[in-house]
Chain A
């Protein structure tokens, strides 16, 4: 693992005990994730609901521990940091700004909380820092003493971003930061995150299923399916020439095809498999038009591609 990695995840798994048809079973939400993110890089993690994106974000935040494998931030395991040091390394922005802000606290005290917890400065210096941060994220100063219920969804998300950034983290984990917002507000928030990322040199992990947002923001994309990364690559590369059948079906499902043109292979339909009871072999085989007997028995190993990897027995050809 290279030294300049801001965040590196090696073989991370995460199991949950669940009741499945009345019996105790293990739900393996993450089945061995390997991911390395450089300082200042914007990496998107895409995948459908229930594929483990949110679990992965909790592992990266150090709020949950991996069942096996490791999550390393700035050279040390995330669990080895004191909670206050950790807060200065990595911060989240959540999907739903209606539940991520305490309804009983004023915006001022929400944004100041990281400084209060850290015991940084006095009341006056914190107030100045909050005012500066509110300006940086585009919140009018008169909202200082307002409550979350009094402002719009877009403003709430700005508050959440301000709270994350006032801790001066190196890494920002944005878990679907726009999917709860009005379409007209989504681009504002995306642009805000993009601007601040460049200005502060932040490392951003963008967890999303909005491929347009991913294409706009991310340098690299990691495609997640049922707890594994099935393909990673540079954004333009991956969008232009997806190698994994799942990546392809994701892109086909979202990008409007040329009128009259049908996908040159039948779309992956069927429900995603239950993660408590995953299919043997490649987890995508029940939905994959290219599945062979090999796919139904053996899990494919990742193979390196230009700038990424693909985990498939029968990947689409890379363009010459």
Chain B
């Protein structure tokens, strides 16, 4: 018998193949990679982001006639180097975005899989929890909790993580429900598989696609939420640099030195846009039926 070649690619190779031909993937992924790289190694090359120099306050960026290469993006009202703070802020945004989605993804996926697989009362209770979560105004609850507990990076991660699991749960629940009665899951039960094995080995790999899409959306969501909380003074505490905090600290300068707000604002928009573009590309590849 001749070794017949397989006419089609494996699902994983096929998905990768489609992804590599997607424009949004290259733009979004590239921008995220760049920001991630800046966040990781940037601090080695920039000035101290918290060092104040009251002699060099509000220096404009280098493209202004009064600017200089000593401070490429200028300084803020306390004379801190804006580029250094921007790079430092990228670390905070990236950390919050990824860490919160790990928390919320774990909670939401576990709840969604339990609801979808066991059905019945488990489903009822989890649906109730999802509904309750959806009725809570996220920003308000986060504000109250942070105001009561106090603010730190870990508190922010936990609070935002505990608030953003709903979409994971909803998507996981319906995807699991669809698979729970499929023949291959029944076959897995017939060969004696334990319930954890069925959930982790049979079902989870089949719902990873939509979960990655949700995760990208939620990273963007968390980044914006952190910026909003920091802007309101209940997120990252000064002198740490966060893009939301940088906007807040400079809001008095809006009319006279707009770059102080524009620079962190553009950074925030670029990051969120890049994440959403990447999410779009992933959705087109792994869950094309969900295309709006």
Contacts and interface: CB of A to CB of B under 8 A. Distances in A.
Interface of A: 58, 61, 63, 82-88, 90-92, 94-96, 99-105, 113-114, 117-118, 140, 142, 146-147, 149-151, 160, 163, 167
Interface residues of B, number: 25
B9 to A, nearest CB: 8
A150 B10 contact: yes
A84 B192 CA distance: 5
Contact of A117 (B1, B4, B184, B197): B197
Contact of A94 (B6, B9, B183, B205): B183
Contacts of B206: 102-104
B191 A104 contact: no
Interface string B167-188: 0000000000000001110111
B11 A104 contact: yes
B183 A114 contact: no
Given A100-B184, A102-B202, A102-B206, A91 B190 contact: yes
Contacts of A95: 183
Interface string B1-39: 101101111110000000000000000000000000000
A301 B272 CA distance: 72
22 contacts: A58-B186, A83-B189, A92-B187, A92-B190, A100-B183, A100-B184, A100-B187, A102-B184, A102-B188, A103-B11, A103-B206, A104-B11, A104-B206, A105-B205, A114-B191, A114-B192, A117-B193, A118-B192, A140-B3, A147-B10, A149-B11, A160-B187
Given A103-B206, A114-B192, A140 B8 contact: no
Nearest to A146: B6
Given A94-B183, A99-B184, A113 B193 contact: yes
A199 to B, nearest CB: 21
A248 B16 CA distance: 56
Contacts of B6: 146, 150-151
A234 to B, nearest CB: 29
Nearest to B205: A104
**Pairs A-B, 8 closest by C-beta atoms:** A87-B192, A100-B183, A84-B192, A104-B205, A114-B191, A83-B192, A99-B183, A94-B183
A101 B185 CA distance: 9
Given A99-B182, A103-B11, A117-B197, 12 more contacts: A63-B190, A83-B189, A83-B192, A84-B192, A86-B192, A91-B190, A99-B183, A102-B205, A102-B206, A104-B205, A114-B191, A163-B187
Nearest to A101: B184
Nearest to A87: B192
A97 B65 CA distance: 72
Contacts of A83: 189, 192-194
A204 to B, nearest CB: 15
